[in-house]
Amino acid sequence: MSAENRTPFVRLAKRTEMSRRNMWLIRIGSIVIALILGCLPMLLTGTNPISAYGVIIQGSVSRPVYLRQTIRTAIPLLGCALAIAPCFKMRFWNIGAEGQITMGAVFATYFALFWSGKIPHVALLIIMAVSGAIAGGIWALIPAFFKAKWNTNETLFTLMMNYIAIGIVAWLQGGPWEGRKGSQLIPMFSDEARLPDVLGVNCGWIIVLVLVVLMFIYMNKTKQGYEIAVIGDSVNTARYAGMNVGWIMMRTMFISGAISGLVGFIIVSGANYTLYSGVADGVGFTSITVAWLSQLNSFAMIAISMILAILEKGSNTLQTRMSVPASIADIITGILLFCMLSCEFFINYKLIFRHKGKEVNG
Amino acid sequence: MEKNCAIEMKGITKRFGQVVANDSIDLQINRGEVLALLGENGSGKTTLMNMLSGIYQPDEGEILKDGKTIYIRSPREAYEYGIGMIHQHYKLVEVFTSTQNIILGLNDGRMDLKAAENKVNEICDRYGFEIDASEKVYDMSVSQKQTVEIVKVLYRGADILILDEPTAVLTPQETKKLFAVLRNMKADGKAIVIITHKLNEVMEVSDKVTVLRKGKFIGTVKTSETNPQALTDMMVGHAVSLNIDRPLYPDPRKKMIIENLTCVDEEGVKKLDSVSFTANTGEILGVAGISGSGQKELLEAITGLYPVKEGSVRFIKSDGSEVELVGLTPKKIRQTGVGMAFVPEDRLGMGLVGSMGMTGNMLLRSWKKGKGALIHKKEPEALANKVMEELDVITPGVNYPVRRLSGGNVQKVLVGREIASEPEVLMTAYAVRGLDINTSYTIYNLLTEQKMKGVAVLYVGEDLDVLLELADRILVLCGGQVAGVVDARTTTKEEIGLLMTQFNAKEDER
Amino acid sequence: MTTLITLIVAAVTFGTVLMYGTLGEILTEKSGNLNLGVEGIMYMGGAFGLAGAFYYEKAAGAAASGPVAITLAILAAFAAGFAASAIYSFLTITLRANQNVTGLALSIFGTGIGQFVGEFMRVSEGGYVALSNHLKEAFSATIFPGFLINIPVIGRILFSHTVFFYLAIVVAILMFLFLKKTRYGMYLTAVGESPSTSDAAGINITKYKYLATTIGGGISAIGGMVYIMTTAGCVWNHEGLSGVGWLAVALVIFCMWRPLNAIWGSVLFGAMMIMYLRVSIPFIPTELYKILPYIVTVIVLVLTSMRNSRDKQPPASLGNNYFREER
C-alpha cells in the first residue's frame, strides 16, 4: 500500500476524561522538562546548570530573609492573578491588569503624598487602599462599558489602557508630582503611608491570602460567581436566564480592576514606597499566565506565583554570585509557561495513531 | 457491483466518544442517479456524508471508488476524487464576494478574478441561478448563499454531489428550481446524494433511497418500488399512526394576547410583521412554518430576548389583571410574576449551561432566590434528582456536565426544569428535534399534561403530522406574517402546507 | 519650516521601526492569530540583529562592508523572530493553547532572551559592544545621492532616510499586493475570517497559519533590529525598545489590518512619540504626547465597533484556535 492511500498517521480527538493522577503527572512532567530546557542558556554561558538551580533555590528560600523577598515578589503576582480569574472565567480577556495596577498605585500615591500627616496612620492606609481599588476598578470599567455597549474588542482595548496609564505616571513623575526639580522622581512616602510589616514582610501577604479565600468563595459559592460561570459558558444562556450580561460584565471588570488597583496600592505602599512609571513591572501580564495555568483555581495560584517568584528572586542571586544575567529568570519563566501551556493539550486531547483501536496518551 | 458505481462505502463505523454515530453502514452511490439518504434527525446521515467529504475519518470500514480503496483525509482530497458537499450550514467567508468564495481553495494557476467571474456567470446562466458574481456574501439572503454553495461545487466540476437538507431554507419555487437542476445534472451522468427527512421530496426527486435509523443501515430501495408509508416504516421502525392523546380542556380562557408584533433584525430586515394572535389556557397552540419564518423571533420577542419594534404582548394573570410584556427584560418579566417557561431551540447554547451538571442547570431558573450573596444549592439539587427520576434522565450524577449527555437526556433536563417552574405559559421550539421516538412521546405527554393543568402551550414544530395530532389550534407563519390560524382537529396537511407558502407565492406574483 | 522637516525626518526614523513591527503583526493577525509576543519578538530581533552585524565585523575586521553587515543583521533578526513565532505557532496552532496567554509568555521569554543576548555579548566581549563608525554610518545612511537630498523641502522629507525605511515600504506594498491580488493572499484572509470554511474548501489551514505567523514574526523582529542599529546607535539599549512592540500592536488596529495604512500610520505614530522633543501644544504637557497613539487607537477601535462596518473589523476568527472536529 502506498503512503498516499492510508488513513492519516495520527489524528486528534477530544479526550472525555482523565484521571486526576495522570493530570498531575503530566503537569509535573512539563515543569521538569521546562527545567531541563532551562539548562541550555546556562550551558551557553558556561554555567553548571545544577549548581545554578542550586543557587536559585538557595537564593530564594534557604534563609528567612531570602524567603521574605521571594514572598514580596509573589504577593502582587498572586493578587493580580486573583483579579484576572473572574474575567477569564467569563471569557472576557482582560489583559489590562498592568494599567489597572498602575492607576491604583497613582491614586494611593496621591493620598500618600498629600494627606500624609493630616490624618491618622490607619485611616490614611485605608483611604489609600480604597482609592486605589476604586481607581483600578474604574480604569477596568471603561473597556467593559464599550464591550457591553458596542462589543468593542476587549483584548485590544484593555491592552491600550495599560500604556495610557503608564504614560500618565510618566507625566506625573516628571511634572506635577516631581520631587526635586529635574530628578524625574516622585518623593518617597513618609512612614505614615507605608504598610506595616508582619513577620518581616509587608502585610500585603495577609490581604492577598484573605483574597484567595474570598475569591474562591466568590467564584464557587455566590450568585455573582454563578452568573460569571454561566456567561463564560454561553452568553445566550445567560440572557435567557434573565441575566443582564452587560451589567455583569461591567461589574465583574470593576471588581477585577479594583483588586488590581489594590495590588497597585500594596506595591507602592508596601514595597516601593514611591511611584514610577514601571510600577507594575510586567506583573499584570505575568499574572495572566499564573491565573490561566492555575485553571483559575485560587489555591493553585499560590503555588504557581511562588514558583515564578522563586525563579525571579533566585535569578537575582544567580547574577550576583555567578554573573549569569538575571534575565535568565524571564527565559526560564517563558520556557516554563510554554511547557505548561503545551501540557494542557495532552490533558484535553488524545492522539489516535493509525493502527486501529490503539490510543496513546500524549 | 454495478458498473456505474461511483462510490461505495463498506462497513463504515464512526464513534464520537461513547456515541456510535454510524454503525457498520454500507452505501452505494451510482452515476446518473439521485440517491436520497433518508432518516430522522440524528440518524447519522450527515456524519456519514461528512466522511465522504473528508471532514471526518471513519473509525472502521472502507470507501471504494472504481473498486479501489481510497482514503479521504481532507475536503481537498474529497474534491480530487470529484466529491463535493453542500453543507447545511454554509461555509462561506462573509467578507468575500461570491466569486472569491467559489474559487476558494482552487488551484488552477494564476488567480484571475475576471475570468472566474465569467465562468460563474456562465454556470448561473446555464442553470438559471440568480446571484451577482461580485456581490459580498454578507449582503446576501439565505437562498443566495445556498446558490453560491451549489455553484461552488459545480465550478469545481464535481461528479459526485452531496446536498445536506438543501430545501430546509428554500421556498417551494426555489425547491422546484433546485430539483430541476438536480435532474439536469443527473442526466449529465453525475451522482447525487440528497440528505433529507422529507418524504415528499424523496418521492419527487430520487431514484433510490437508503434509509438510516439511529446510526444503523436499514436498507436501500428503488423509489419507484416503494411508497411513503413503507419508507416511514423503515425510518421509524414501525408504522406511525402517531396516536397522540389529545384531550379537551374544559374551560379555556384567554392567557396571552399578541397584537401587531413587529420585529426587525440588525440589518433592518423585518423578521416579524404585525403578528397578532391569542394563546388560551388549556390549549396547545402549534406554530408551523418553513424554517426561518419568524418562529425563533416570535418566541424570543415574547420572552423579552428579541427587541420589539412595534406591537404589544399582553399577559393576563390568573386574577384577571393584564401585564404588558413588550419592553420588559427577561428579568423584569419574571419579577412581575408572569409565569413563563421557554424551551429554546438551541438547548446547550441557550437553554442550558453545558459545562455544569443538572444541579447547576436547575439553578438557572432560581439562582436569584434566597437571601444573601450565596447561592442556595439544596432546592435545585432536590429538583435535579426529581427530574432525573421522573423523566428517566440517564446521567452518572447530578453534577455530571450536561454537555456530555445524549441529546434526549439534554432535552429532558431542559423540559423538566421548565415545567418544574409551574408556568402559566409554556413555549417550546422544536422540542423533539433529534430525539428518538420514545423520548418524543415523553415530551408530547408532558406537554399535554401541562395543557390539562390549564397551561397555555406554544409548540413550534416542523413535523406537520405531530402538529396535527398534538395541537388544538395551529398558527401558520410565513415570512414573518401570520398566514392563518386553523383548527388542528379539522384542518388538513395540505391546507397548512398551502398557508406555509402562500405569502411567498404572492411575493412572486408582484 | 526646518523644525517641521526635522520632525518629519525623526518621525520617519522611529516610524520605520514601528512599520516592521506592524506589518509583521498584520500578516500574523490576518491568519487569525493574535500574537501578543511582538514585544518579545522585537527584543530578540534587536539583540540578534546587533549580534549578527557585530560578529560579522569581528570576523571580517577592517574589510567589513556595510551592505553585507546590513544583510546579515536583517537575516539574523528575521531568523530570531521566525524562531520565536515558531514556538508561538506550535503552541497555539498545533497544541491549541490560549493565544493571549501564549503571546504574553512569548513576550516574557523574548524580552528575556533579548536582554540575555545583549548582556551576554557585553560580558563576553568585556564591556562595550558597538560597531565601528563606518558600519554605523552604513546603517544610518540613505541610498539616494546627495543632489536629491538637497532639493529644498521635499529632498530631506523624501530621500534622506535609511535603506530600512524604503525596504519597509516595499514590504508594505508587496504585502498589499499579496493580500489583494494573489490567490494565496486571498486564502490567508479566508483562513483568518473563517477557518472552517477554508478547511472545507481544502485549504491547509495549519500551513497558512504557521507561515503567516512565522514570517510575520520575522518581519516584526526586523523592526527591533532597525531600532538598535539606527535610533540607538548600534548599541544594545533595552530601555528604548521597551514598549515598541505593544505600540506596533496598537498600530495594527489603527491601520485596520491594511498594510498600506501602515506606511502613513507608522509615520504618524512615530511623530506622536517624538513630538514631545520638538513641538509644544498649549495646555497639553509634553509628557502626555506619548500616550496619544494609544488614545487614537482606542478611538479608532471604539468608532469601528460602533459603526459595525463589516470591512473594517478585525479578522473574524482573531484569537480563536481551530479544531476541525469541534462542532
For residue A206, give every residue at least 6 positions away whose Cβ sits within 8 Å of its Cβ, in sequence order, or none.
Answer: A198
Residue A361 confidence class, pLDDT cut points 50, 70, 90: very low
Q: What is the dihedral of CA C162, C168, C169, C173, to 10 degrees?
A: 160
The per-residue pLDDT for B171 is 67
Comparing alpha-carbon positions, the chain C residue that sits nearest to A154 is: C301
In chain C, residues with a C-beta closer than 8 Å to the C-beta of A174 are 287
pLDDT at position B202 over 60: yes
In chain C, residues with a C-beta closer than 8 Å to the C-beta of A162 are 246
Asked if B353 has any chain A CB less than 8 Å from its own CB, the reply is yes
Q: Which of A119-123, B57-61, B319-323, B506-510 has the lowest mean pLDDT?
A: B506-510
End-to-end CA distance of chain B: 52
Highest mean pLDDT: which of A168-172, B47-51, C122-126, C218-222?
A: C218-222
The per-residue pLDDT for A119 is 87
Taking an 8 Å cut-off on Cβ atoms, the answer to whether C319 and A344 are in contact is: no
Domain borders along chain A are: 80-297
Q: Which element (helix H / strand E) includes A360?
A: strand A359-360
DSSP, collapsed to helix, strand or coil, labels residue A197 as strand
Asked if A150 has any chain C CB less than 8 Å from its own CB, the reply is yes
A interface test, pick of B74, B81, B306, B352 with most A CB neighbours within 10 Å:
B352
Residue C157 confidence class, pLDDT cut points 50, 70, 90: confident
Q: Which of A68-72, A106-110, B487-491, C306-310 has the lowest mean pLDDT?
A: C306-310
The per-residue pLDDT for A291 is 93
A5 to chain B, closest Cα gap in Å: 6
Asked if B19 has any chain A CB less than 8 Å from its own CB, the reply is no
pLDDT at position B169 over 80: no
Taking an 8 Å cut-off on Cβ atoms, the answer to whether A341 and C246 are in contact is: no
- Sheet of strand B425-429: strand arrangement: B340-343, B425-429, B456-460, B283-288, B473-478, B481-487
- Determine the Cα angle at A232 with ends A231 and A235, to 5°: 40
Asked if B168 has any chain A CB less than 8 Å from its own CB, the reply is no
CB distance B201 to B194 below 8 Å: yes
Asked if B93 has any chain C CB less than 8 Å from its own CB, the reply is yes
The per-residue pLDDT for A78 is 96
Q: What is the CATH number of the domain that holds C267?
A: 1.10.3470
Buried b (16+ CB within 10 A) or exposed e, C21-37: bbbbbbbbbbbbbbbbb
Q: Do the domain assignments include residue C319?
A: no
Asked if A287 has any chain C CB less than 8 Å from its own CB, the reply is no
In chain C, residues with a C-beta closer than 8 Å to the C-beta of B14 are none
B interface test, pick of C186, C187, C304 with most B CB neighbours within 10 Å:
C186
**Percent above pLDDT 90 for chain B:** 28
pLDDT 10s digits, A254-313 = 999 999 999 999 999 988 889 988 888 889 999 999 999 888 999 999 999 999 999 888
Taking an 8 Å cut-off on Cβ atoms, the answer to whether C108 and A344 are in contact is: no
Count of Cβ atoms closer than 10 Å to residue C206 Cβ: 15
Rounded to whole angstroms, the Cα distance separating B226 from B243 reads 24
Rounded to whole angstroms, the Cα distance separating A318 from A38 reads 14
| Nearest-CB residue to B374 (from A221, A233, A239) | A221
Count of Cβ atoms closer than 10 Å to residue B102 Cβ: 27
Residue C102 confidence class, pLDDT cut points 50, 70, 90: very high
Residue B241 confidence class, pLDDT cut points 50, 70, 90: low
pLDDT at position C87 over 50: yes
Q: Residue B136 has what DSSP assignment?
A: B
Q: Do the domain assignments include residue C325?
A: no
Say how many domains are in chain C.
Answer: 1
The per-residue pLDDT for A4 is 38
Beta bridge partners of B209: B36, B221
pLDDT at position B507 over 70: no
Rounded to whole angstroms, the Cα distance separating A217 from A296 reads 13
| Nearest-CB residue to A236 (from B60, B349, B364) | B349
Taking an 8 Å cut-off on Cβ atoms, the answer to whether A159 and C36 are in contact is: yes
Q: Which of B37-41, B263-267, B369-373, C89-93 has the lowest mean pLDDT?
A: B37-41
Comparing alpha-carbon positions, the chain A residue that sits nearest to B343 is: A240
The per-residue pLDDT for C291 is 87
A interface test, pick of C26, C257, C287 with most A CB neighbours within 10 Å:
C287
C305 to chain B, closest Cα gap in Å: 14
Q: Do the domain assignments include residue C123?
A: yes
A interface test, pick of C18, C93, C99, C100 with most A CB neighbours within 10 Å:
C100
Q: Which residue did the predictor score with more confidence, A213 or B130?
A: A213
Taking an 8 Å cut-off on Cβ atoms, the answer to whether A237 and B364 are in contact is: yes
Comparing alpha-carbon positions, the chain C residue that sits nearest to B74 is: C202
The per-residue pLDDT for B1 is 46
pLDDT at position B467 over 90: no
Q: Do the domain assignments include residue C171?
A: yes
Q: Do the domain assignments include residue C322?
A: no
| Nearest-CB residue to C319 (from A155, A159, A293) | A155
Residue C5 confidence class, pLDDT cut points 50, 70, 90: confident
Rounded to whole angstroms, the Cα distance separating B460 from B427 reads 8
Residue A6 confidence class, pLDDT cut points 50, 70, 90: very low
Average pLDDT over residues A12-41: 83
Taking an 8 Å cut-off on Cβ atoms, the answer to whether C323 and A150 are in contact is: no
In chain B, residues with a C-beta closer than 8 Å to the C-beta of A223 are 367-368, 373-375
pLDDT at position A2 over 60: no
Buried b (16+ CB within 10 A) or exposed e, A97-133: bbbbbbbbbbbbbbbbbebbeeeeeeebbebbbbbbb
All structural domains of chain B? 5-236 (3.40.50.300), 241-339+422-510 (3.40.50.300), 354-421 (no CATH)
Residue A357 confidence class, pLDDT cut points 50, 70, 90: very low
Highest mean pLDDT: which of B156-160, B231-235, B254-258?
A: B254-258
Rounded to whole angstroms, the Cα distance separating A264 from A83 reads 12
Q: Which of A8-12, A234-238, B119-123 has the lowest mean pLDDT?
A: A8-12
**Percent above pLDDT 70 for chain C:** 98
pLDDT at position C267 over 70: yes
Q: Do the domain assignments include residue C21?
A: yes
In chain B, residues with a C-beta closer than 8 Å to the C-beta of A226 are 360, 363, 367, 375
Q: Do the domain assignments include residue C326?
A: no
The per-residue pLDDT for C92 is 94
pLDDT at position A3 over 50: no
The per-residue pLDDT for B499 is 78
Comparing alpha-carbon positions, the chain C residue that sits nearest to A343 is: C95
Q: Is the pTM of this model over 0.90?
A: no
The per-residue pLDDT for A284 is 92
Taking an 8 Å cut-off on Cβ atoms, the answer to whether C193 and B96 are in contact is: yes
Asked if B342 has any chain A CB less than 8 Å from its own CB, the reply is yes
Taking an 8 Å cut-off on Cβ atoms, the answer to whether C200 and B75 are in contact is: yes
Asked if A334 has any chain C CB less than 8 Å from its own CB, the reply is yes
Average pLDDT over residues A105-115: 93
The mean of the pLDDT values for chain C is 88
C-alpha closest to that of A269 among A76, A150, A125: A125
Rounded to whole angstroms, the Cα distance separating B413 from B393 reads 7
Average pLDDT over residues B405-412: 84
pLDDT 10s digits, A214-267 = 999 999 999 999 999 999 999 999 999 989 999 999 999 999 999 999 999 999
Asked if C108 has any chain A CB less than 8 Å from its own CB, the reply is yes
Taking an 8 Å cut-off on Cβ atoms, the answer to whether A159 and C108 are in contact is: no
Q: Among all chains, which residue has been given the C-alpha cell 523641502?
A: C153
The mean of the pLDDT values for chain B is 84
| Nearest-CB residue to C186 (from B94, B111, B138) | B111
Interface of C with B (CB under 8 A): 181-183, 186-187, 189-190, 193-194, 196-204, 310-311, 316, 324-325
Average pLDDT over residues A114-129: 90
In Å, the largest CA–CA distance within chain C is 64
Domain that holds residue C86: 2-312
Comparing alpha-carbon positions, the chain A residue that sits nearest to C249 is: A156
Q: Please, is C112 exposed, middle or buried when counting C-beta atoms within 10 Å of its C-beta (0-12, 13-18, 19+)?
A: buried
Taking an 8 Å cut-off on Cβ atoms, the answer to whether B93 and C193 are in contact is: yes
pLDDT 10s digits, B14-34 = 987 667 889 999 999 998 899
C-alpha closest to that of B364 among A242, A220, A244, A90: A242
Q: Do the domain assignments include residue C185?
A: yes
C246 to chain B, closest Cα gap in Å: 28
DSSP, collapsed to helix, strand or coil, labels residue B97 as strand
